[in-house]
């Protein structure tokens, strides 16, 4: 029995080497300056306007994309529940298929529609729109919603379609109307799905630098772009690490909040 | 059953190993080249590989600033690189490069004396590190259908008339250069108040800018919906060929005159191959062929006999000395000044 | 009333369908355009020819597949072996393992990629194919563990013990009794690891070296450089192969293999919450 336990050791060593130590490196770089002396500067740098603004835009856009995905995805999941079981398999297949195309190509596809000569920009201009779509916050938001919508739809669908028909019928028998069934029964029961979906949309939106790079015309910088640039062009690893730590804190906070809602949701259920 | 699974797993493993580059093959000579995007006629790479039996691993970067950190972290990453002069100075001073032995370059004589002299005077004494590849200026490419006034000043990039139709360069030094020259400062200025003034000017420009661009500037200008774009002079001929409405202007306030060239990294493991590569590109006919494709002016004077007279006389491509009188070369300003540029650049967007 | 509701439901599905597919369809249409720009100039296979003749795209496809395959196989082997070990541990030490296992899932890819880049630079490894492979194995193992460990804990110990009592060597008994029972977990862990590796961009971006591109990193450098119609052709091919693969896999197994990717994502978020 003893040697069985030893089998877990290689993995422990692997994870310490490739996960724990690298994180300690980020932590270390984040708290020292270029000479190696301890400093808070890299952390406090987040309060400088050139970093605060991208963080603000990132938070706003990722919150907006999460809400939009939820607003679009929830009715869809409800409709799918009502659809015939046999058909819903095919429909769900259709809705997650785009997810299997490369993430960068999906974003590039929108560039093709929104950039000069693109179909959507041409139509907008024919309708009297003057200006650019690429390089605006709206274009980035669109990119986020498009890329992450399937990640919202699937957990919602999974949790809503798993609700037992008998539960809904019981509610109806007890006099609930359709709206009440939706808000008082289905909604609380789908909280775990909502939480999953929200996490799967919010975190990647908050940390992305690719969508803003491709659809933002390099005009709009998100916090992900700032961090990426500190490493790849400014070669200021200390500042980049400091800002990454801030980003990690934001992710942890959002997880903690969601975690609480999840617990409340499950007690309701 | 057991054997079958084992066989399948083994087959899969073997198959994937076969795809892994370099595994199981015998040692072949290689050369790792790091160049700007869209900056060589790729046929030349194939010809070089064929002629010398060397495998070229070819990668590209978009800005000097993107290239530097990778080499700083590991200078054996690439063997030959093609940075701009000020970045060469930085790499030189930080000990990332090795000296070049001119006797190993049979075509060294093809490079024009005047170019070597200017580089030797400002950047690289006795031309020990940099082998000039292309040179040019930075100017404004404009669409004559959308701009019907004469373009002769950087000031047009602040004209509200062209709001949303201006493309700015997305590299720190080039963006600041535009503001510095417009305000009448040197492009090597490190005075903090001057720099802040420039940053303020660039912030004022931000709402008018359509995109900050690097290589994509030419496709965007060719598409024809954009009025003005800050561009390297070498892109002009190519753009003109694709869209005849485009014209190039070198603003009267002056601009940057730049030189890109090949350097060999300090810890290169393929030095002999690197020399062969540089010498290959210095051959007059190769330089001319390359010029035909990338349309960036070449300092290779021997190549000029293969280039059209008409193009040689095009002042946008090969400017006269008179036009260059207000132009300057970038020099390396030191890490501290560089950081200040960069910190201010972040406040622009 | 009911009919109206059904109509709105169908219209809503249709709208989202258009939203999801219009960009892809446009790409597919333009992949057959003869010109480089976004005006339609005529039908041609030019960009497909360019695509198939491009050595860099061929290399990127090869790298993507070999890295995905190798990293998921190695991650599965490591994952299964460590699950046996972890399963034998006491609750307390098991919690430590699970906490460490969750780190890559909790972290954003950006931080994981950057931290691995710092590690490789710190130990002085030249980045290249091996570093990308190591990085992929690292973010793949947790998915395998999360799929295999619950299965292993459900296995019936007495069957294994019975096999031993009947004279089987532990390794043989394990192979004959336990493995078949946890096989579904192994397969789904492997598939998750494979798809996550296939689709990764960010971590590869930070750990790759000279001459190493996967499809994702190649597309990234191409699309930032201007109009690239051969990327349209690549999109078409990738989209069609995704359809073919998913349809085939759905024919083979009744379970929606297509959901694997979302399941992996969900696993990630579940674990995080």
CB–CB of A49 and B347 under 8 A?
Answer: yes
pLDDT exceeds cutoff 50 at A166: yes
CB–CB of C134 and A18 under 8 A?
Answer: yes
Q: What dihedral angle (degrees, nearest 10) is formed by the CA atoms of A10, A13, A15, A19?
A: -160
CB–CB of B216 and C175 under 8 A?
Answer: no
Specify the range with the lowest mean pLDDT, choosing from B282-296, C159-173, C194-208, C239-253: C239-253
Residue bearing the bigger pLDDT, C157 or A197: A197
How far is residue C179's CA from residue B319's CA, in Å, rounded to a whole number? 75
- Fold entry, domain B29-135+258-318: D-Maltodextrin-Binding Protein; domain 2 (3.40.190)
pLDDT exceeds cutoff 60 at B243: yes
C-alpha gyration radius of chain B: 22
Closest CB to A29 among C19, C118, C216: C118
How far is residue C215's CA from residue A104's CA, in Å, rounded to a whole number? 9
B170 touches chain A (CB under 8 A): yes
State mean pLDDT over B261-288: 95
Pairing of strands B166-169, B228-232: parallel
Chain C residues with CB-CB distance to B216 below 8 A: 224-226
Specify the pLDDT at position A264.
58
State mean pLDDT over C3-18: 88
pLDDT-derived band at C250 (thresholds 50, 70, 90) equals confident
Specify the range with the lowest mean pLDDT, choosing from B128-142, B215-229, C154-168: C154-168
> Which residues on neighbouring strands pair with residue B58, listed in sequence order?
B33
pLDDT-derived band at B124 (thresholds 50, 70, 90) equals very high
Average pLDDT, chain C: 87
Side-chain half-sphere exposure of A210, counting CA atoms within 13 A: 27
CB–CB of B346 and A226 under 8 A?
Answer: yes
Chain A residues with CB-CB distance to C219 below 8 A: 102, 104-105, 108
**Helices assigned H by DSSP within chain C:** 2-30, 46-53, 55-87, 91-106, 109-122, 129-154, 157-165, 170-173, 179-199, 202-207, 215-223, 229-252, 260-272
State mean pLDDT over A93-121: 88
What residue spans define the domains of chain B? 29-135+258-318, 136-256+327-348
C-alpha gyration radius of chain A: 23
DSSP-derived secondary structure letter, B108 = G
Which of A100-114, C34-48, C63-77, C240-254 has the largest mean confidence? C63-77
pLDDT-derived band at C110 (thresholds 50, 70, 90) equals very high
- Nearest-CA distance from B265 to chain C in Å? 14
Sign of the Cα torsion A73, A74, A77, A79 reads: negative
Q: How is domain B136-256+327-348 classified at the architecture level of CATH?
A: 3-Layer(aba) Sandwich (3.40)
pLDDT exceeds cutoff 50 at B148: yes
A237-268 vs A223-232: helix crossing angle, rounded to 10 = 150
CB–CB of A258 and C273 under 8 A?
Answer: yes
Closest CB to C211 among B59, B214, B219: B59
- Nearest-CA distance from B260 to chain A in Å? 19
Pairing of strands B55-61, B131-143: unpaired
The residue of chain C nearest to residue A115, with distances taken between CA atoms, is C38
Length of chain A measured in residues:
269
Specify the pLDDT at position C5.
80
The residue of chain A nearest to residue B69, with distances taken between CA atoms, is A235
Q: How many CB pairs (< 8 A) connect B and C? A: 66
pLDDT-derived band at C105 (thresholds 50, 70, 90) equals confident
- Nearest-CA distance from B214 to chain A in Å? 10
B69 touches chain A (CB under 8 A): yes
What tokens does C161 get? 């013990």
Residue pLDDT, tens place only, B34-84: 999 889 999 999 999 999 999 999 999 989 999 999 999 888 899 999 999
The residue of chain C nearest to residue B10, with distances taken between CA atoms, is C73
Specify the pLDDT at position A268.
42
Please name each of the domains of chain C with its CATH number: 56-272 (1.10.3720.10)
Mutate to test the interface with C, among A5, A104, A251 (most CBs of C within 10 A): A104
Specify the pLDDT at position B165.
94
Specify the pLDDT at position C54.
85
The residue of chain B nearest to residue A227, with distances taken between CA atoms, is B346
Chain B residues with CB-CB distance to A49 below 8 A: 347
C235 touches chain A (CB under 8 A): yes
Cβ–Cβ under 8 Å, residues B230 and B168: yes
Chain C residues with CB-CB distance to A12 below 8 A: 82, 97, 100
pLDDT exceeds cutoff 80 at A267: no
pLDDT-derived band at A263 (thresholds 50, 70, 90) equals low
Side-chain half-sphere exposure of B241, counting CA atoms within 13 A: 10
Q: How far is CA C114 from CA A24, A29, A223, C121, in A?
A: 12, 12, 14, 11
Residue pLDDT, tens place only, C205-231: 999 988 889 999 999 988 888 888 889
Average pLDDT, chain A: 89
Find tokens 């008018």 and name the residue: B208
pLDDT exceeds cutoff 80 at B27: no
Q: Which residues of A touch B (CB under 8 A)?
A: 49-51, 116-117, 130-132, 134-135, 217-221, 226, 231-236
pLDDT-derived band at C258 (thresholds 50, 70, 90) equals low
Cβ–Cβ under 8 Å, residues A42 and A242: yes
The residue of chain A nearest to residue C231, with distances taken between CA atoms, is A105
Find tokens 């769900």 and name the residue: A92
C229-252 vs C46-53: helix crossing angle, rounded to 10 = 80
pLDDT exceeds cutoff 60 at C257: no
pLDDT exceeds cutoff 90 at A26: yes
Single out the residue of B189, B163, B162 nearest to residue B176, CA to CA: B189
pLDDT-derived band at C262 (thresholds 50, 70, 90) equals low
**Helices assigned H by DSSP within A216-236:** 223-232
Find tokens 């959308």 and name the residue: B146
Q: How far is CA C121 from CA A26, C34, C131, C243, in A?
A: 12, 45, 11, 40
Q: How far is Cα of residue B113 from the mean position of the Cα atoms in its chain? A: 21
Chains near A, with 3+ CB pairs < 8 A? B, C
- Nearest-CA distance from B344 to chain A in Å? 9
State mean pLDDT over B286-298: 93
Q: Which helix (H) or strand (E) holds B236?
A: helix B235-242
State mean pLDDT over A64-78: 95
Chain C residues with CB-CB distance to B58 below 8 A: 211
CB–CB of A235 and B69 under 8 A?
Answer: yes
CB–CB of C78 and A14 under 8 A?
Answer: yes
Residue pLDDT, tens place only, C37-85: 888 888 999 999 999 988 889 999 999 999 999 999 999 999 999 998 9
The residue of chain B nearest to residue A218, with distances taken between CA atoms, is B212
pLDDT exceeds cutoff 50 at B16: no
pLDDT-derived band at B169 (thresholds 50, 70, 90) equals very high
pLDDT exceeds cutoff 70 at B191: yes
Specify the pLDDT at position B324.
87
Which pTM does this prediction carry? 0.89
Chains near C, with 3+ CB pairs < 8 A? A, B
- Residue B160 has a CB neighbour count (10 Å cut-off) of 7
- Nearest-CA distance from C177 to chain B in Å? 13
Cβ–Cβ under 8 Å, residues A220 and A212: yes
Cβ–Cβ under 8 Å, residues A7 and C85: yes
Name every residue whose Cβ is closer than 8 Å to that of residue C240 and which is 6 or more positions away in sequence.
none
Pairing of strands B228-232, B131-143: antiparallel
pLDDT-derived band at B176 (thresholds 50, 70, 90) equals very high
Pairing of strands B257-265, B131-143: antiparallel
Find tokens 């006389």 and name the residue: B313
What percent of chain C stands above pLDDT 90?
44
Residue bearing the bigger pLDDT, C32 or C157: C32
Single out the residue of C175, C191, C182 nearest to residue C258, CA to CA: C191
pLDDT exceeds cutoff 70 at A2: no
How far is residue B108's CA from residue B99's CA, in Å, rounded to a whole number? 14
What residue spans define the domains of chain A? 46-268
CB–CB of C266 and A155 under 8 A?
Answer: yes
Single out the residue of B70, B264, B35, A103 nearest to residue C200, CA to CA: A103
Closest CB to A102 among C20, C199, C250: C199
B341 touches chain A (CB under 8 A): no
Length of chain C measured in residues:
273
Pairing of strands B257-265, B80-81: antiparallel
Closest CB to A116 among B209, B225, B342: B225
Mutate to test the interface with B, among C35, C66, C121 (most CBs of B within 10 A): C66
pLDDT-derived band at B17 (thresholds 50, 70, 90) equals very low
Residue B1's Cβ-count burial label (10 Å; 0-12, 13-18, 19+) is exposed
CB–CB of C62 and B219 under 8 A?
Answer: no
Specify the range with the lowest mean pLDDT, choosing from A144-153, B146-155, B339-348, C82-91: C82-91
The residue of chain B nearest to residue A233, with distances taken between CA atoms, is B66
Q: How far is CA B226 from CA A121, B209, B229, in A?
A: 14, 11, 8
What tokens does B138 get? 């930075």
Side-chain half-sphere exposure of B155, counting CA atoms within 13 A: 8
State mean pLDDT over B155-177: 94
Specify the pLDDT at position C267.
63
Cβ–Cβ under 8 Å, residues B16 and C65: yes
Cβ–Cβ under 8 Å, residues B296 and B136: yes
Pick the CATH number of A46-268 from 1.10.3720.10, 3.80.10.10, 3.40.50.300, 3.40.630.150: 1.10.3720.10
């Amino acid at each position: 029995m003893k040697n069985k336990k030893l089998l877990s050791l290689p993995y422990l060593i692997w994870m310490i080497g490739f996960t724990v130590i690298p994180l300690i490196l980020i932590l270390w770089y984040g708290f020292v300056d270029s000479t190696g002396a301890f400093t808070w500067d890299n952390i406090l740098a987040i309060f400088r306007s050139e970093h605060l603004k991208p963080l603000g835009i990132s938070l706003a856009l990722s919150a907006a994309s999460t809400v939009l995905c939820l607003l679009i995805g929830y009715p869809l999941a409800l409709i799918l529940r009502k659809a015939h079981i046999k058909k819903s398999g095919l429909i769900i297949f259709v809705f997650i298929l785009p997810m299997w195309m490369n993430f960068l190509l999906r974003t590039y596809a929108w560039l093709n529609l929104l950039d000069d000569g693109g179909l959507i920009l041409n139509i907008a201009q024919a309708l009297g729109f003057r200006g650019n779509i690429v390089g605006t916050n709206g274009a980035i938001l669109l990119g986020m919603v498009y890329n992450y919508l399937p990640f919202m739809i699937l957990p919602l669908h999974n949790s809503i379609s798993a609700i037992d028909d008998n539960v809904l019928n019981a509610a109806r028998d007890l006099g609930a109307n359709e709206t009440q069934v939706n808000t008082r029964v289905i909604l609380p029961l789908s909280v775990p799905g909502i939480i999953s979906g929200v996490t799967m949309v919010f975190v990647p939106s908050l940390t992305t630098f690719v969508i803003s790079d491709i659809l933002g015309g390099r005009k709009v910088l998100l916090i992900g772009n700032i961090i990426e640039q500190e490493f790849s062009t400014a070669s200021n690893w200390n500042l980049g690490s400091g800002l990454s730590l801030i980003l990690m804190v934001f992710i942890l906070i959002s997880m903690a909040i969601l975690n609480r809602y999840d617990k409340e949701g499950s007690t309701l259920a | 059953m057991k054997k079958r699974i084992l066989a399948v797993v083994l087959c899969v493993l073997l198959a994937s190993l076969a795809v892994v580059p370099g595994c199981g093959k015998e040692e072949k000579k290689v050369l790792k080249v790091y160049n700007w995007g869209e900056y060589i006629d790729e046929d030349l790479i194939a010809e070089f590989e064929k002629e010398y039996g060397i495998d070229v691993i070819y990668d590209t970067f978009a800005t000097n600033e993107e290239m530097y950190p990778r080499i700083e972290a590991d200078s054996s990453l690439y063997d030959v690189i093609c940075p701009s002069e000020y970045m060469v100075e930085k790499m030189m001073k930080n000990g990332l490069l090795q000296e070049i032995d001119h006797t190993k370059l049979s075509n060294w004589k093809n490079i024009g004396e005047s170019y070597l002299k200017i580089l030797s005077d400002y950047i690289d004494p006795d031309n020990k590190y940099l082998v000039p590849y292309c040179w040019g200026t930075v100017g404004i490419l404009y669409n004559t259908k959308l701009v019907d006034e004469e373009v002769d000043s950087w000031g047009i990039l602040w004209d509200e008339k062209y709001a949303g139709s201006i493309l700015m360069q997305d590299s720190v030094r080039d963006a600041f250069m535009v503001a510095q020259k417009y305000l009448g400062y040197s492009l090597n200025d490190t005075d903090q108040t001057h720099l802040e003034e420039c940053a303020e000017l660039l912030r004022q420009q931000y709402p008018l800018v359509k995109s900050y661009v690097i290589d994509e500037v030419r496709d965007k200008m060719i598409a024809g919906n954009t009025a003005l774009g800050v561009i390297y002079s070498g892109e002009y001929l190519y753009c003109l060929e694709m869209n005849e409405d485009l014209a190039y202007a070198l603003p009267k306030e002056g601009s940057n005159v730049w030189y890109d060239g090949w350097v060999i990294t300090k810890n290169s493991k393929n030095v002999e191959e690197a020399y062969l590569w540089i010498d290959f590109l210095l051959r007059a006919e190769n330089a001319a062929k390359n010029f035909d494709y990338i349309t960036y002016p070449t300092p290779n004077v021997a190549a000029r006999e293969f280039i059209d007279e008409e193009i040689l006389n095009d002042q946008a491509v090969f400017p006269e000395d008179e036009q260059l009188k207000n132009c300057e070369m970038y020099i390396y300003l030191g890490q501290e000044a560089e950081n200040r540029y960069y910190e201010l650049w972040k406040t622009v967007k | 009333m009911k009919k109206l509701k059904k109509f709105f439901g169908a219209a809503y599905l249709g709208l989202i369908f258009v939203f999801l597919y219009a960009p892809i369809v446009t790409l597919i249409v333009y992949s057959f355009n003869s010109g480089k720009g976004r005006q339609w100039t005529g039908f041609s296979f030019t960009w497909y020819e360019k695509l198939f003749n491009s050595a860099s795209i061929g290399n990127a496809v090869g790298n993507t597949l070999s890295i995905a395959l190798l990293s998921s196989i190695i991650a599965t082997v490591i994952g299964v072996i460590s699950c046996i070990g972890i399963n034998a541990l006491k609750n307390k030490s098991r919690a430590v393992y699970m906490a460490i296992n969750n780190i890559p899932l909790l972290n954003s890819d950006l931080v994981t990629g950057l931290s691995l880049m710092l590690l490789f630079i710190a130990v002085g490894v030249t980045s290249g194919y091996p570093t990308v492979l190591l990085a992929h194995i690292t973010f793949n193992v947790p998915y395998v563990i999360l799929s295999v460990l619950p299965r292993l804990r459900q296995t019936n110990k007495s069957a294994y013990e019975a096999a031993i009592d009947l004279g089987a060597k532990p390794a043989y008994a394990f192979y004959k009794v336990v493995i078949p029972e946890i096989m579904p977990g192994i397969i789904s862990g492997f598939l998750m690891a494979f798809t996550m590796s296939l689709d990764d961009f960010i971590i590869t971006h930070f750990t790759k070296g000279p001459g190493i591109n996967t499809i994702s990193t190649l597309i990234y450098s191409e699309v930032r450089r201007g109009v690239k119609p051969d990327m349209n052709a690549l999109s078409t091919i990738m989209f069609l192969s995704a359809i073919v693969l998913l349809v085939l896999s759905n024919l083979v197994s009744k379970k929606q293999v297509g959901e694997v990717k979302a399941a992996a994502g969900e696993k990630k978020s579940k674990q995080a919450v």
